[in-house]
Structure 1
Amino acid sequence: MTLALPRGAVAVELDDIQATVLRYRPEPYYGTHVMLHVDDARAGRRFLRDVTPFVDSAADWWQADGPWIAVGLTYSGLAALGVPDDSLRSFPEAFRVGMAARADQLRDRGVNDPANWEPHFGTGAVHLGVSVFSDSEDAWRRTMTVARHHYRGLTVLSEQDFGAQPGALNSLGYRDSIGQPAVEGSGVQPLPGQGPAIKAGEFVLGYPGESGVPLPAPEPDVLGRNGTFVGLRKYQSRVGAFNRFLRAHATSDESRELLAAKLVGRWRSGAPLTLAPDRDDPALGADPLRNNDFTYAADQAGHRVPLGAHMRRMNPRDTQMQILADVDIHRVIRRSTAFGAPYDASAVSAQDDEIPRGLYFLFISAKAMATMEFLQQEWINNGNFMNLGEERDPNVGVQEPGASFTIPRDPVRRRVHGIETFNVLRGGEYFFLPSLSALRWLGEEH
C-alpha cells in the first residue's frame, strides 16, 4: 500500500541510503531475517559485491512498493571481512563490544540475560544480517531465492520468516509500528501528530543532528557517510501469561480489551486512547493521517493514557516529566516484525508461553547503541522520570515478582498487581547498516 504522504524538500543523499532506513513496513508484510557467518573473507566480500545491486536505495521511498533487501554487519563481521584496523577502531565502543557485553547497561538481567539467549546471538558468530521485506508472498519468496543464491559459501546461522499475521497484528494482538519520527530533508513533510521534523543526522551519519553538528562516523568517509546503526532484539512473546493477566484483572471481554489498551496506550486496532478513550475505533486505528495526531497536553495526569503505558514511555511527547529529557534526541526509527504463530486470545497455559512466536524489534538511529541504553535504563526499566518509582514498561520491561501497573483515575488510582514479563529477550545484536557506496567499498579487498 502506497501512502499519500505530503512531499517536502530532499536534503540527504537518498540514492545512497539503504531503503529500510526510511521506507515504511508494508501492510500486509512478509519477510525473513537471516543471520550469516563469514568463514572466509573473500567469500564474504564476494557476497557483498553480488548482493549490493539488489539492495534498494531510499530514493522515492515514500511511493515505493514491492520487496527490498537490507544488509547490516556486526563489528565481528567487519573484522571477518578484513576491514582495516584504523577503520575498525573508528566505530563506537558499544558497537565494537556488542550487545551482549553491554547487558548491564541495557538492564538485560534475569530472564533477559545473554546466558539465556539463543546460541548464535551475543557470541560474535553473527557477522551479517540480511533482511527481506515484501508486500506480497510471491515477491518475498522470489527475493529470498535471489538472496539465498548469493550467500552461498557463507554459514547460515538462522533464518526467521516473519509477517502475514491476521489483521497485520503482532504476537500480542496489537497493530504496531505506528508513530515513526519525521526526518528533516527526507522528502516528506511531517504527518499529523509527528511534530516538527527531527534533524537527519540523528538517524543518518554525515549530516547535522539536533546539536547542529554531525555525529562522529566510521572512517574513511566512504564507509561512514549515509550509514547508520541498528539494534536488533528478538523477543519471545509469552501469550499465555499475557492472557492470564488480563483475565485475572478484568471480568468481561470489554474490560479486558480496555486493560490491554491501557498497558500500551492504544487499542488493539491502533486507535490511540487519547482520541478514543472509551471504546475502540478500528477506522481511526487504520488511518495513518489520524492515528498519531494527538498530544498529552490535556492528559498530564494520565487518565486517558497511563503515564507508564508503553507508547507514552517510548515517546512522552509533551508530558510534563519529573526528570527532564529532550525527547527528539531519543527517538528511533522502528521496524517491528512479528514471527511464528498468530496471537491466540484463548491461550492461557504455561505451554502456550513457549510456542514459537514473538517480535523482532529493529531500532534504527545514528547513535542506536547510546539511545537504546538510555531507553532501557531510564524509560523502560525505571519509572522515576514519570514519578512511578520502580514501575517498568508493561510491554518490554523485565518485571520483578509482585510488579504492578498504575492506572490513574478519580477519585483513587488503580494499581494492578502481578504483571509479568510478557516479552522475553531471546537474543540481540548491534549492526552497522552501510550506505550503498560503503557496501561496494566493503566488497573490495583492502
Structure 2
Amino acid sequence: MTQELDLSDIQGHILRAYARFGYPKGRYVFLNIRHSARARQFVGRITQRVTTAVNWGNGPDAVQPPDCAVNIAFTYQGLKELELPRASLVDFSPEFIEGMKHRRDILGDDGPSSPECWDPIWRDNRVTREKDVHITVLLNARAPAPATADMAGVAQAMQSCTEFLEQGYQWLLDEVRHSEGGVVILGGNRGDNGELLDYQEVNVVMENGMPTAKEHFGYTDGIGDPVFEGVPYDVNRVRGRGKQMEDGSWAPLATGEFLLGHVDEAHEYPPAPLPVLLARNGTYMVYRKLHENVASFEQYLQQEGKKYPGGPELLAAKFVGRWRDNGAPLVSAPDAAAKQAFDARFATATPEQQDRMLSDFTYDADMSGGKCPFSSHLRRINPRASLEMGRDPGDPPGSLKRMTGAFDTPGALVNRRRILRRGLPYGAVRDRQRDDGNHGIIIMMLNADINRQFEFVQQQWINYGNDFKAANDKEIILGNHSSDPRFASKAVLQVDPASEDAPYILARIPRFVETRGGEYFFIPSMTALRMIARGVIDPT
C-alpha cells in the first residue's frame, strides 16, 4: 500500500488544480525584494496563511476550503535576495538559476514570442535588480455552491468569488505595506486596452453566463493531469492518468517525478539542493503567459475545414486529439459516427464513468496515427506508451513487444516527461476576427526536473517531431510556426494504412499561440518556508 504524503507540509497549489475544486478565479502578484531581513519577515507572515494540500470537507483531519487560497513561490534571484547560503543556491538546477528568458532558444521563444515582445514585467525581468521578479503570491478564489441552478444563482456565486478574491488581494496589500519597504509589488502585467496592472488576473471562460472548462479556442481543457503516489483525492483517477503497466492496468506515477525528496521513476532521488528539508516536498514551477491568436486559429480552421473530408470540427479535433465540445478522445471517437455513439453513452454515464471515458485510453490500436495524429497536442504532450521501442502498427492492442530488459513499464520513456499543469485562462475574447486583445492562458507546469521534463517536451516534442517520425513537423497548436514562407510549417494527418484514403497535409500553419512572458520558480514546502523566513537554512 502506498504511503500517503504529509499533506500539511505541501503547498496546495502543487497537488490541487484549484479550478477543478471550485476556484474559478485567481490573481497572481509578483514582488521585488528591497530589504532582505524585512522580506524574510514578510515571507513568515505570508506562510501563516499559505494553503496546504490537506483534505477538505468531511473525514478525518479534514478542514474547510478557504475562501481564498494562498500560495507562494520564488525565483532563483529571489532566494539570493533572501540570503540563502551559497552552498544551497548552487545546488538548484542550472535551468532555474539561469531563468526562462535566457532559455529562449531552447524553448523556441522567437519572433512574436521573443522576450522583447513580452509583457513589461517579464521583458524587464533580469535587466536591473529593482525590476527582478523575486516572489510570486498566487491567490485563487472559491465560488460557493449556487443557491439556485439558474443563471441568477451562478451569477451570485461568481460575485461572491470576486469578493473573496478582492479580500485576499487587500490582505496581501496590507502585508506588503507592513513589510516597510522590504518588498514591493511589480507592475507591468498587460490588461485590456493595453493598460498595465499590478497583478495577472485569471478566470474560467464563461458561456451564456455559466462557467466552463474551456479555453479561448473552444477546447475542453484540464482533463489528463497526471496522478502520482500518495495523493488521497486522486485514488479514483489513476486510469489513463498514471502509468500503464505490463498487464494493461494503471498505477500512479512515482512521487519523485513531481516532488523533490522522493524517489522517481528511475528509482532515484531527483537532484536537489541541500539541506534535505529545503528541497523535500517542494518542486519547480514553470510560469508561462500564452496569448491565443483566436482569429488566426478560426480562419485557418475554416480555410482547411472546407477541404478536409471530415469538416472543420473533426479537423479541430485532429489539431488537439480531442473533440472541442466535451473532450472526447479521437482514439475512442475517430469520426462523426463514432462521436455520435460516444456522446450517447456519455450523456447517460455517471460522472465517474464520464471521467474514465475521457481519460482511460491508450494508442495501442492507433500506432499508425490514423485516429489521433502524431502532431496533435494530446499525442505530443503525453504520447502514453506509443513511443515504445520495437512496437509496430500491426501489433495487437496490449502487445508490449520491446527491447528485452530495458524497461519494466510500457511507457517508461514517457513517464520521465510527465508534467503537472495548473493555471487558468486570462481575459475575454471581445472580437473573434482579431488576433490582438488580452486573452490567452496562464499555464503553470510543475515538475522535479525542468530540463528533463518541461524543457524536453517543449523543445523535442512540441517544436520538433523526430521522436514521432515526423521529422521537424511541430505540434499544431503550441508549435513556434514561422511566418517566413521559406520555413513554413506543415503537419501530416495520418490515415488508417488499411484504407485507400490519402493523408491530409496541413500547410503554412500560422502561429496560434505566442509567449507573453514567464519565469522559473521554486515552490518550497511549509517546512522550508519557515526555515527561509527565519534565516536558518544550513546546508552543512
TM over 0.5: yes
Q: Which residue in 2 is equivalent to 1:90? A: 91
Flag the 1:366–1:285 CA change in 2: closer, same or farther, 3 A: farther
Equivalence for 1:215 = 270
Matched to 1:176, the amino acid is D
User: Deviation at 1:12?
Assistant: 2.3
Moved more, 266-275 or 375-384: 266-275
Task: Give the corresponding residue for 1:143.
Answer: 168
Does residue 375 of structure 2 align to residue 308 of structure 1? yes
Of 136-145 and 42-51, more deviation after overlay is shown by: 136-145
Which is worse superposed, 270-279 or 406-415? 270-279
| Aligned pairs, number | 434
For the residues of structure 1 that align with 2:509 and 2:319, how far apart are their CA atoms?
A: 10
The answer as to whether partners of 2:27 and 2:140 remain within 8 angstroms in 1 is yes
Q: Which has the larger radius of gyration?
A: 2
How far does residue 321 in structure 1 lie from its aligned partner after superposition? 5.7
Secondary structure of residue in 1 paired with 2:515: strand
CA distance in 2, matches of 1:178, 1:131: 22
SS of 2:41 mapped into structure 1: helix
Distance in structure 2 (CA, Å) of the matches to 1:213 and 1:390? 33
Tell whether the 8 Å contact from 1:235 to 1:426 is kept in structure 2 after alignment. yes
- The answer as to whether partners of 1:321 and 1:385 remain within 8 angstroms in 2 is no
Q: Is the 8 A contact 2:19 2:424 kept in 1?
A: no
- The whole-number CA distance in structure 2 between the counterparts of 1:438 and 1:164 is 32
Task: Give deviations 1:411-430, integer Å, cap 9, x for gaps.
Answer: 21000112111110011100
1:5 corresponds to:
none
- CA 1:261–1:65: 2 relative to 1, 3 Å: farther
CA RMSD of aligned residues (A): 2.5
- Identity across the alignment (%): 32
SS at match of 1:263: helix
Name the residue aligned to 1:396.
Answer: 478
Q: Which residue identity lines up with residue 90 of structure 1 in the other structure?
A: D
- Higher mean alpha-carbon deviation, 425-434 vs 147-156, is at 147-156
Alignment of 1:116-127 (within 5 A): 116-121=117-122, 123-124=125-126, 125-127=132-134
How far is 1:229 from its partner? 0.4
Q: In terms of mean alpha carbon deviation, does 109-118 or 329-338 score higher?
A: 109-118
Q: Deviations over 1:349-379 (max 9, x none)?
A: xxx2111101111110111243222112210
CA 1:228–1:62: 2 relative to 1, 3 Å:
farther
Alpha-carbon contact 2:17-2:423 (below 8 Å) kept:
no
TM-score of the two chains, using structure 2 as the length reference: 0.75
Residue identity opposite 1:304 in structure 2: K
Which residue number in structure 2 is paired with residue 405 of structure 1?
A: 491
Matched AA of 1:277? P
In the TM superposition, what is the alpha-carbon distance from 1:264 to its structure 2 partner? 0.5
Give the Cα–Cα distance (whole angstroms) in 2 for the partners of residues 61 and 306 of structure 1: 40
**Is the aligned partner of 1:40 residue 2:35?**
yes
Give yes or no for the alignment of 1:258 onto 2:317: no
Aligned to 2:297, what secondary structure does the other structure show?
A: helix
User: CA contact under 8 A between 1:272 and 1:285: conserved in structure 2?
Assistant: no
Aligned to 2:523: 433
How far does the alpha carbon of each residue in 1:83-137 deviate from its partner, in whole angstroms, 9 at most, with x for none?
2222211211111111111222223222222232222226231101111123321
Checking the alignment, whether the CA contact within 8 Å between 1:191 and 1:289 is kept in structure 2 is no
Query: Structure 1 residues 285 and 83, CA, compared in 2 at 3 Å: closer, same or farther?
Result: farther
TM (norm. structure 1) is 0.91
Look up the equivalent residue of 2:332 and give its one-letter code.
Answer: L
Deviations 1:42-64 (A, max 9, x none): 33212211111111111226987
1:188-234 residue CA offsets vs partner (Å, 9 max, x unmatched): 42433223211111111111111112112222222111111011111
Q: 1:20 offset after TM fit, Å? A: 1.1
Q: What secondary structure does 2:440 align onto?
A: strand
> Within the alignment, does 1:171 sit opposite 2:216 as a pair?
yes
Does residue 295 of structure 1 match 2:382?
Answer: no
Q: Partners of 2:509 and 2:474 in 1: how far apart?
A: 10
**Whole-angstrom distance in 2 between the partners of 1:25 and 1:302:** 33
Alignment of 1:28-107 (within 5 A): 29-60=24-55, 65-66=65-66, 67-107=68-108
Equivalences for residues 201-280 of structure 1 within 5 A: 201-251=256-306, 255-268=311-324, 269-279=326-336
161-170 or 249-258, which moves further after superposition?
A: 249-258
